[in-house]
Structure 1
């Protein structure tokens, strides 16, 4: 990780949109890490509003940044890229989706803008399962194109070991599930429809029997869940959500603080 100039004062905010152009340029000069949250606008069952991935992905990114800053790292977080790859949710309505080429183009132009301003360390913090494979492709391609360090990851795939112990009925974060519903109860309770919570359960996987993780085939949600839910939200709670946000953000910060990730060799 590059040494930060001692003379560079810290920005008054970690959020790109709350800083002036000059303050953002100072962060670039100080070799700040740029975290770009990437999400989706899509159905989340009968009980949750469509902005779940934006709320959760944006919060995890910002809370991760706060922990990095507390540890002495320079970091800045862009606004959430709110539209993603959500074709598999379209049949339920309430969903906005991009095609792959458009999604990659959006990420490319956001990253290119940051690079043109002098940032050399960028992380795509993904908060939507449908984006997962494309995020890896984007990070690889953009690092090669722009000659800077670009990483990417889906937050629950990055830190599964801190999620499972906090859940009762599922091993990881799924969709509109125990985990996502709990975090939304904590972060955005007005996004919950409590009278619909009893219906908020579905299969325990989006995969067919015998389909291993390495066999990729994304099916329309209508084919395997009547409610649009994967997992079981009926045991969700705001207390559980607070613990999940804390644990996930702390572990993500620990991972991104690893200087070996950002060394230019």
Structure 2
């Protein structure tokens, strides 16, 4: 069940049965010459859809722009400042809490969001603490790419070629739902360098084609289907 495709009476009825909502959160940023710019938002959407196929869950709208300032030297990337993303997450939480949601499960597809979303949770808890009240909320952040099953499968399929950005795992997951988006591009070097993440110009100098240690060309639809199955199982376990 998707919030965006529901009416308000349907959401009111859902709240009589469940107080849980899954909110996909990702980023709009370059993913090398073969990965779609929307990869980090599409991945949690795909996993959330898989979760809803197995359990009655309400899926919220995807927060598709995240903290991606280090990719801004690549055309098409869009970023929020950390302080802006904190305010966005807090406002989303307060909006949902006001309707009666008690378990808000952020399903994340972008490593750059982790610290900021955790800071947003801390901001929300601080507001409750200073107001001397119990928020009554269970806020969770689950990074699909860090799940136990996903990690094991990625190591099996790609080993050290997984890298850390524009990875064959995330590109495969997107291809499992958007097979027509597959690109065939000669990538050089075969395995690009890894390195620190600083500002946008520094990132572009270190990683000219946008990849970080990843052999993106190893991605496939079949790998993506297996990764999706693993990611859904990990996320349902985390949801509890």
TM-score (norm 1): 0.78
Distance verdict in 2 for CA 1:36–1:200, change over 3 Å: farther
**Is residue 114 of structure 1 aligned with residue 96 of structure 2?**
yes
Would the aligned equivalents of 1:34 and 1:122 in 2 still touch at CA under 8 Å? yes
The alignment of Structure 1 onto Structure 2 pairs a total of residues equal to: 229
**Is residue 25 of structure 1 aligned with residue 25 of structure 2?**
no
Tell me, in whole angstroms, the C-alpha distance in 1 between the residues paired with 2:215 and 2:32. Answer: 11
Tell me, in whole angstroms, the C-alpha distance in 1 between the residues paired with 2:16 and 2:86. Answer: 27
1:4 equivalent in structure 2: none
Aligned ranges 1:214-225 → 2 under 5 Å: 218=198, 220=200, 221-225=203-207
Would the aligned equivalents of 1:46 and 1:199 in 2 still touch at CA under 8 Å? no
1:157 equivalent in structure 2: 146
Report the aligned-residue RMSD: 2.3
| Deviation (angstroms), 1:59 | 1.0
Would the aligned equivalents of 1:200 and 1:233 in 2 still touch at CA under 8 Å? no
Tell me, in whole angstroms, the C-alpha distance in 2 between the residues paired with 1:253 and 1:143. Answer: 25
| Deviation (angstroms), 1:167 | 2.1
* 1:159-202 per-position Cα deviation (integer Å, ceiling 9, x unaligned): 354443442243757322211222222221233322x2545854
Tell me, in whole angstroms, the C-alpha distance in 1 between the residues paired with 2:227 and 2:68. Answer: 24
Would the aligned equivalents of 1:45 and 1:227 in 2 still touch at CA under 8 Å? yes
TM-score (norm 2): 0.85
* 1:119-163 per-position Cα deviation (integer Å, ceiling 9, x unaligned): 111111111111111122223333454611111132212435444
5+ residue gaps, structure 2: 129-134
1:103 equivalent in structure 2: 85
For residue 167 of structure 1, give the secondary structure of its aligned residue in structure 2. Answer: helix
The structure 1 residue matched to 2:73, chosen from 91, 95, 116, is: 91
**Is residue 226 of structure 1 aligned with residue 208 of structure 2?**
yes
